[in-house]
Amino acid sequence: MSSKRPFSSSLSRRSLVQRGSALGAGAAVGKVALGSAQTPAGSPAASPVPLTEVDQDFLAAQEAVIAEIQEMGEGKTLHILSAVVGGKTPEEDQLFEEEIRRLTGIQVELVHPTAEYDEKMLADLAAGVEYDLIYMNKNRMDVLVDQEVLTDLTEQINNSAILSNPTVIPPEEWELIEYDGDTFYSVFNKFEGARMLTVRQDWLDQLGLEAPKTLDEIYDVMVAFRDQDPAGNGEGVTLGLSTAGTYDIQPFMSSEGIRPGYVEVDGKRTIPYATEAAIPVYEWLAKLYAEGLYDPSFATAETADMRNLFMTDKVGFVTYWDTWVGLFNALVEQENPGSDFQAKGLAAAEGPDGVIISRGQPSVWAIPVNAPNAELAFKFLEWWHTFPGIILGSLGILDHDYTVEGDTYELTEVGAEHAMDHGVPTPYNTNWDNPVGELPGLAEAQEISVEYGYLAQLGPQWDAEVVPILDENIIKTILGDISAADAVAAMQERLRSEGLID
């Protein structure tokens, strides 16, 4: 955990885990069920989860953490500020709090804003509101570390039998959130997947087309979707592609070997999206727009608009998170049982460097320096990576989102709507096997994420300062307002003048 973070990182979760298992001295692997002694009485995890290969060190550590948290949490309250972890409504947030209490004995006050999360976090911290745990992404963490708001957790993490276990969190993953080579201020929330090109596989099948691999092939398929009308929208109506602004055009940038974020070249900070190498891709996207293949409202569209177009047969391709491949299929099936709808993750257009897609920035939990119950908060983070914690973060709340009979887990109607996402749809812990099974198409999409996911180097200025400059010029190019060459020149000029590139 102390090695310097590489400037770029292409992740292979499986290889990391295999390496991690090998590193884990004394890790006896075998078929083990989670025994009742390891969880509070009455917990669903008291029933055996499906048998899987479970690391014995992890099991022992898990048992200890579950016992310790019960002891430490008695009569104490944790104040948690959360963006994605919790219920889907205020009522469910309350059930979520009660479920944590049932499982750990800890009273929880969950603050779960429905929007403007970063603003809420900043306002509360500035006002001196005391939280024990705060959820954030890596970019925000960079700012808060700089502001000396977060507690140094290095020693606790190193001494944690759960968190330092390589089968729980692969060692190389920790490098993504370390500072100065050996300091940690947070613990992961979940494994972050990647965003990829996703296609209507049923339309491909219907038209007898192969999955496209290059920009030209993708273009041909879009034309076929529009002109041969597999959706029955009427000839010339079906769109080829929808995105929310330029989020996320990386699957197309991949065709030129362009990486997202910053890339260091000869010791200088560069942004490949603002280089001449990107011009052919921008011209290709502008061609899609000019020919009516690209959603004409993409510049003002939200991701929800894009998702709706995809699920209502209006568009053939979107670029979105791997998890949503499964969610698209599950949601359409639930809305329209027996539908032919089939979303499939395709990764990206192949380029000179193969396939490059964007992996999500780490999402983490941190403990502010003014946390009233810092020790208990850290114990909770350890618990969050045990099976009961993972069940809560994925399946959700017992008898609300899922039921258990014997060793059979079943989602309720509400649970099916929530699609096994209560903040941790994809946990890190490799000992864990989802007892309900995966969403259709998800496992395949996650394989793609693991194989091709590239974690961009962004930094604290990226979202607020770099993205607006890129967005403005790229969208103008796609709309045909300026040429791709002019857009790149404008991006270069502004980024350099504002000291955002060297």
Partner 1 sequence: MLRHTTRTMRSHAWLYVMILPVIAYFLIFVYYPLYQGAASSFQEFKLLGTAEWIGTENYLEVWQDGTFWQVVKNTLLIGGGILVFGFFPPIMVALALNEAATLLFKKLAQTTVYLPHLFSWVVIGGMWIFLLSPGGGLINELLALINVGPVRFLTNTTWARATMIGLPIWKDMGYAAIIYLASITSINPSLYEAARIDGASRFQQMYQITLPLLKPTMKVVFMLNILGLLRIFDQIFVMRNPVVQGGIDVIMTYVYDMGIQRYELGFASAISVMVLLTTLLLTAIVWRITGFGRDD
Per rule CB under 8 A, is residue 258 in the interface with partner 1? no
Per rule CB under 8 A, is residue 149 in the interface with partner 1? yes
Within 184-203, the residues that bind partner 1 by CB under 8 A are: none
According to CB under 8 A, which one of 23, 51, 369, 485 is a site residue for partner 1?
Answer: 369
Q: How far is the CB of 460 from partner 1 (least distance, A)?
A: 9
Query: For residue 162, which phi and psi values (nearest 5 degrees)?
Result: -80, -55
Q: How far is the CB of 186 from partner 1 (least distance, A)?
A: 16
Q: Closest Cα partner for 490 from 475, 469, 463, 460?
A: 469
Greatest C-alpha distance within the chain: 66
Q: How far is the CB of 481 from partner 1 (least distance, A)?
A: 8
Instruction: Choose the binding region for partner 1 from 106-114, 173-181, 438-446, 471-479 (rule: CB under 8 A).
Output: 471-479
Q: Which is nearer to partner 1, 66 or 144 (CB)?
A: 144
366's enclosing H/E stretch is: strand 363-366
Q: Closest Cα partner for 312 from 248, 211, 238, 224?
A: 238
Per rule CB under 8 A, is residue 260 in the interface with partner 1? no
According to CB under 8 A, which one of 295, 313, 322, 401 is a site residue for partner 1?
Answer: 295
Q: Dihedral, CA atoms, 306, 307, 308, 310, nearest 10 degrees?
A: 90
According to CB under 8 A, which one of 106, 144, 377, 442 is a site residue for partner 1?
Answer: 144
Per rule CB under 8 A, is residue 475 in the interface with partner 1? yes
According to CB under 8 A, which one of 211, 279, 436, 479 is a site residue for partner 1?
Answer: 479
Three-state DSSP string of 371-433: CCCHHHHHHHHHHHCCHHHHHHHCCCCECCCEEEECCEEEECHHHHHHCCCCCCCCCCCCCCC
Q: Which is nearer to partner 1, 104 or 477 (CB)?
A: 477
According to CB under 8 A, which one of 80, 81, 125, 349 is a site residue for partner 1?
Answer: 125
Instruction: Choose the binding region for partner 1 from 29-37, 120-128, 183-191, 346-354 (rule: CB under 8 A).
Output: 120-128
According to CB under 8 A, which one of 26, 31, 71, 126 is a site residue for partner 1?
Answer: 126
Instruction: Choose the binding region for partner 1 from 42-50, 202-210, 371-379, 474-482 (rule: CB under 8 A).
Output: 474-482
Instruction: Choose the binding region for partner 1 from 60-68, 142-150, 213-221, 431-439 (rule: CB under 8 A).
Output: 142-150
Q: Dihedral, CA atoms, 449, 451, 457, 462, nearest 10 degrees?
A: -20
Per rule CB under 8 A, is residue 297 in the interface with partner 1? yes
Calpha distance 333→337 (Å, rounded):
5
Calpha distance 1→5 (Å, rounded):
9
Q: Taking the alpha carbons of 11, 14, 17, 19 in that order, is the dihedral positive or negative? A: negative
**DSSP strand pairing (268-270 vs 263-265):** antiparallel
- What is the length of the chain? 502
Per rule CB under 8 A, is residue 444 in the interface with partner 1? no
Per rule CB under 8 A, is residue 348 in the interface with partner 1? no
Q: How far is the CB of 143 from partner 1 (least distance, A)?
A: 6
Q: How far is the CB of 312 from partner 1 (least distance, A)?
A: 12
Q: Taking the alpha carbons of 466, 469, 470, 471 in that order, is the dihedral positive or negative? A: positive
Instruction: Choose the binding region for partner 1 from 41-49, 216-224, 270-278, 458-466 (rule: CB under 8 A).
Output: 458-466
User: Residue 371's Cα: distance from chain center in Å?
Assistant: 27
Question: Going residue by residue from 211 to 250, which x/- string records binding to partner 1, judged by CB under 8 A?
Answer: ----------------------------------xx----
Per rule CB under 8 A, is residue 147 in the interface with partner 1? yes
Calpha distance 11→3 (Å, rounded):
16
Q: Which is nearer to partner 1, 438 or 471 (CB)?
A: 471
Using a 10 angstrom Cβ sphere, with 0-12 exposed, 13-18 middle and 19 or more buried, the burial of residue 122 is middle
**Cβ–Cβ under 8 Å, residues 262 and 458:** yes
Q: How far is the CB of 474 from partner 1 (least distance, A)?
A: 8
Q: Dihedral, CA atoms, 277, 279, 280, 285, nearest 10 degrees?
A: 130
Q: Which two tokens stand for residue 496?
A: 């350099």
According to CB under 8 A, which one of 94, 300, 336, 408 is a site residue for partner 1?
Answer: 300
Contact residues for partner 1, defined by CB under 8 A = 118-119, 122, 125-126, 128, 143-144, 147-149, 245-246, 295-297, 299-300, 368-370, 463-465, 467-468, 471-472, 475-476, 479, 481
